[in-house]
């Protein structure tokens, strides 16, 4: 009975400590930016920015009468809520660790908390990228095929699409629980993430995560580029007076900024994961932590795009450019704020259409 009990205990200990197996003892873990102050400032700044952006977006959503714009604002609200929850869930664990310095092996011997945080990191990491690609598809269809799609995308349909994105990201994050890949505690010991390893199952999960993220960014880049070129042709063509797309320009500006910031923040991490699993090199822990900080910055910068683009300064700038374009045929354009029939008013703060919303 004793040998059997001993083997059983050893196997249980191995299973319990699996998510800690690749890391140094916590007493040896240190990093200059791994502090409670740094993490708390990051978390508070991100949460407050996303909360402020959500209030601004809700206010704009209530004021708009454009069906295309209301659908776009719903997507933005979903993106803000996702970023907010991601910072709240992961930030709470990280800040708590830095304040209390709890021992992961004692607090979480069965790796439940580590797996939960790893799933949260993957889920809230992929969701913004997938939502960005979804918004790019919606704008691409709306601009290049305005009569091919349904004329009005209902709120329920937008919510269904966002729910589908969340489900897809959730299914990917659950793969390690079914044996594909694993989550491990990462240096400096405050967070758990996928195991970047050349082992077949870990490598497969790393490839899924990286390729889904990179594909989302590539889809966003290609479709946004086509949308911008199409929009420029429409706005600058001979029928620009009859087919003003000023509100669509505003949405494309936001979408391009979202794509650029997401690319800058996420490409280092996604490319590094691919490079590491294929080359079988040892993980550069300081660089991985730097990439994580970059990805977190995306959740902080995104809401300020919505905040700044919803304010009147962008509308004034676009209206001024419109007036300069129209001044040759209508000298009183800038003084009277008169726009062609059927276009949206660019009076600062206005989101209404003068005749019929698009």
Q: Which pLDDT does position 183 carry in this prediction?
A: 92
Note whether 194 and 181 are within 8 A (CB). Answer: yes
50: nearest Cα among 83, 88, 92, 89 = 83
Domains, in order of start, for the chain: 33-325 (1.20.1070.10)
The percent of residues in the chain predicted with pLDDT above 70, rounded, is 70
Q: Which pLDDT does position 124 carry in this prediction?
A: 94
The tokens 């990051």 sit on which residue? 42
271: nearest Cα among 259, 288, 296 = 288
Check whether 329 has a pLDDT greater than 60.
no
Q: What is the 3-state secondary structure (H, E, C) of 242-299?
A: CCCCHHHHHHHHHHHHHHHHHHHHHHHHHHHHHHHHHHCCCCCHHHHHHHHHHHHHHH
293: nearest Cα among 270, 265, 267 = 265
Task: Give tens-digit pLDDT for 134-166.
Answer: 999 988 888 887 655 544 667 888 889 999 999
Q: Which pLDDT does position 58 carry in this prediction?
A: 85
Q: Which pLDDT does position 285 carry in this prediction?
A: 81
Q: Which pLDDT does position 342 carry in this prediction?
A: 39
User: What is the spatial distance between Cα 142 and Cα 150, in angstroms, rounded to a whole number?
Assistant: 9
pTM score: 0.78
Q: What is the DSSP string of 11-49?
A: HHHHHHTGGGTTS--GGG---TT-SHHHHHHHHHHHHHH
Q: What is the mean pLDDT of the chain?
A: 75
């Amino acid at each position: 009975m004793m040998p059997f009990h001993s083997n059983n205990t050893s196997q249980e200990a191995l299973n319990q400590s699996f998510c800690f197996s690749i890391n140094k003892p916590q007493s040896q873990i240190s990093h200059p930016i791994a502090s409670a102050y740094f993490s708390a400032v990051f978390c508070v700044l991100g949460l407050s920015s996303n909360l402020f952006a959500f209030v601004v977006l809700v206010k704009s959503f209530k004021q708009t009468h454009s069906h295309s714009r209301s659908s776009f604002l719903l997507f933005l609200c979903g993106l803000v809520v996702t970023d907010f929850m991601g910072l709240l869930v992961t930030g709470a664990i990280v800040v708590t660790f830095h304040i209390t310095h709890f021992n992961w092996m004692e607090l979480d011997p069965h790796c439940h908390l580590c797996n939960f945080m790893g799933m949260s990191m993957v889920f809230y990491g992929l969701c913004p990228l997938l939502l960005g690609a979804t918004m790019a598809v919606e704008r691409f269809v709306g601009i290049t095929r305005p009569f091919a799609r349904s004329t009005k995308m209902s709120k329920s349909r937008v919510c269904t699409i966002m729910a589908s994105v969340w489900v897809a990201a959730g299914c990917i994050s659950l793969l390690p629980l079914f044996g594909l890949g694993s989550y491990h505690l990462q240096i400096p010991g405050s967070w758990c993430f996928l195991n970047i390893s050349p082992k077949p199952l870990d490598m497969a999960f790393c490839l899924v995560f990286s390729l889904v993220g990179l594909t989302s960014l590539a889809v966003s880049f290609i479709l946004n580029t086509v949308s911008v070129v199409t929009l420029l042709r429409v706005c600058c063509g001979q029928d620009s007076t009859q087919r003003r797309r000023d509100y669509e320009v505003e949405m494309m500006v936001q979408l391009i900024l979202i794509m650029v910031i997401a690319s800058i923040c996420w490409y280092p991490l996604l490319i590094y994961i691919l490079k590491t699993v294929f080359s079988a090199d040892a993980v550069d822990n300081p660089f991985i932590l730097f990439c994580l900080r970059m990805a977190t910055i995306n959740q902080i910068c995104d809401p300020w795009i919505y905040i700044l683009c919803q304010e009147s300064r962008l509308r004034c700038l676009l209206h001024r450019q419109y007036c300069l374009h129209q001044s040759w045929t209508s000298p009183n354009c800038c003084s009277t704020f008169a726009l062609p029939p059927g276009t949206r008013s660019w009076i600062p703060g206005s989101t209404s259409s003068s005749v019929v919303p698009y």
